[in-house]
Amino acid sequence: MQFHNTLDFAKQLDKEDILANFRNEFHLLYKNGKPIIYLCGNSLGLQPKNVKAAIDQELKDWAELGVEGHFEGKNPWMYYHHFLKEKAARIVGAKTDEVVIMNNLTANLHLMMVSFYRPTKKRYKILMEGSAFPSDQYAMETQARFHGFNPDDAIIELVPRNGEYTIRTEDIVVKINEHKDDLAIVMMGGVNYYTGQFFDLKAITDAAHAVGATVGFDCAHAAGNIDLKLHDWNVDFAVWCTYKYLNSGPGGTSGVFVHERHGNNPDLIRFAGWWGHDESKRFLMEKGFKPMQGAAGWQLSNAQIFPLAIHNASLELFDKAGIENLRAKSKKLTAFLEFVLSDFKDYLTIITPTNPDERGCQLSIIVKNEGKKLFDYLTQNNVLPDWREPDVIRMSPVPMYNSFEDVFQIGQVIKSYFNK
């Protein structure tokens, strides 16, 4: 598509956008009565307006029914996680029972590692991307130690080639093959939080399986951003948080995907709790853990109704919009931002891949020597991207609530900065 850097053109794209009205379903931000262009949906998504009623419903049932709410509530708490799984499965391309919503991301990552990182003396290495999100680094480091390995030896980090910012798929595959005899698991981000690179999850999964390793992805930056196909790609497990692109509130709940070939294997080692136990027998309080089929068999505790209520409300909007439609708009919106930023080529470098199939809706920008200054200028002028040490400004035009006009205006603010 041929873009033009004009307000009229941006407005025309908004007019043609079938998702344009979803913006009205969110609490957009204002400062001194002026709208803020929010570009932090990759960090904390905006609040959907339908969330309040969803929480109020559960507060009401709790107030009026007490413990009876588990069975008598409008949405009986006993079965609450079931109300989310179909919608969540559509987001990540899974079968319904391959998904469960529970806990928080890093806790779930550890739970999955218990089942899928089963190192032996010979096959014990973990392959991950270098400079992964710190929580993932700490999780892998302590997982290696937990099994008695030295993390410096057990963890293999993928790094870009000299002079490049992102990691080539071919290099990942080569690394997997180099370690064909000692690789236990590949555990990477689906989309890297820093560069915005979307990895080729299918190619990575195929390569890892071919050498006998398991594969899990942290989809914190991929869920709700990319139209994932976790089942078809044959991924072993995935985890994600719900407060970034999935707009489910600070510290919100998390999602887990377990491929059905594992989910239906009751003998797979796991750490268990009563909520993962056969639902029909849960209240018999019997000895002997018998897991539910599917990802639900990894649940520990009774469902956190309030975070789940928020997430359920948010997922309703994703269902209405459709993840394919969101992805289609996202590609166009991000490409438009890339086009608008191309006016400032002399000052800034975009380190996110240019291929729309290798990124979601984030562009990571390095500004020579004055990244922090530009960042501060943007925030003072009602544009809210985020800053990630050491030197990157991340901008995420989110298809659910950002507009093409937003993107045009970002360009205008940057222009006024460099023309100062």
Q: Of the two residues 54 and 219, which places its CB atom closer to ligand PLP in the complex?
A: 219
In the complex with ligand PLP, the residue whose CB is nearer, 13 or 398, is 398
- Taking the complex as a whole, the smallest distance from the CB of residue 27 to ligand PLP amounts, in Å, to 21
CA dist., res. 299 & res. 293, Å (int) = 11
**CB-wise, 105 or 158, nearer to ligand PLP?**
105
Tell me how far apart the alpha carbons of residues 92 and 216 are, in angstroms, rounded to a whole number.
14
Question: Of 133 and 401, which CB lies nearer to ligand PLP in the complex structure?
Answer: 133
- In 3-state terms, what secondary structure has residue 198? strand
CB of 104 to ligand PLP, least distance (A): 5
Burial track 260-284 (b if 16+ CB lie within 10 A, e otherwise) = eebbeeeebebebeebbbbeeebee
Contacts of 259 (CB under 8 A, 6+ apart): 98, 230, 231, 234, 235, 236, 237
CA 71 from centre of chain: 32
Among residues 221 and 329, whose Cβ is nearest to ligand PLP?
221
**Pairwise CA distance, residues 4 & 145, whole Å:** 54
Task: Kindly report the number of other CB atoms within 10 A of residue 383's CB atom.
Answer: 20
d(CA 209, CA 206): 5
Place of tokens 């994600």: 240
CA gap 177, 204 in Å, rounded = 11
CA angle 166, 172, 174 (to 5 degrees): 135
CB of 311 to ligand PLP, least distance (A): 13
Torsion angles phi and psi, residue 386, rounded to 5: -130, 165
- Minimum distance from residue 178 beta carbon to ligand PLP (Å): 25
Shortest spacing between CB 106 and ligand PLP, in angstroms: 3
Give the nearest distance from C-beta 232 to ligand PLP in angstroms: 22
Q: What is the 3-state secondary structure (H, E, C) of 282-303?
A: HHHCCCCCCECCCHHHHCCCCC
Q: Smallest gap, in angstroms, from Cβ of residue 102 to ligand PLP?
A: 12
Cβ neighbours of residue 156 closer than 8 Å, sequence gap 6 or more:
125, 126, 127, 128, 175, 179, 183
Q: Which is nearer to ligand PLP, 165 or 193 (CB)?
A: 193
Query: Dihedrals φ, ψ of 388, to 5°?
Result: -125, 125
Entry field: residues in the chain:
420
343 vs 386, beta carbon nearer ligand PLP: 386
Mind spelling out the 3-state secondary structure of 232-297? CCCCCEEEEECCCCCCCCCCCCEEEEECHHHHCCCCCCCCCCHHHECHHHHHHCCCCCCECCCHHH
Nearer to ligand PLP, 42 or 75 (CB): 42
What is the smallest separation between the CB atom of 77 and ligand PLP, expressed in angstroms?
Answer: 23
Q: Closer to ligand PLP at the Cβ: 288 or 390?
A: 390
CB of 402 to ligand PLP, least distance (A): 20
> Which is closer to ligand PLP, CB of 194 or CB of 408?
194
Q: How far is the CB of 190 from ligand PLP (least distance, A)?
A: 8
Per CB under 6 A, residues contacting ligand PLP are 104-106, 133, 135-136, 189, 193, 218, 220-221, 241
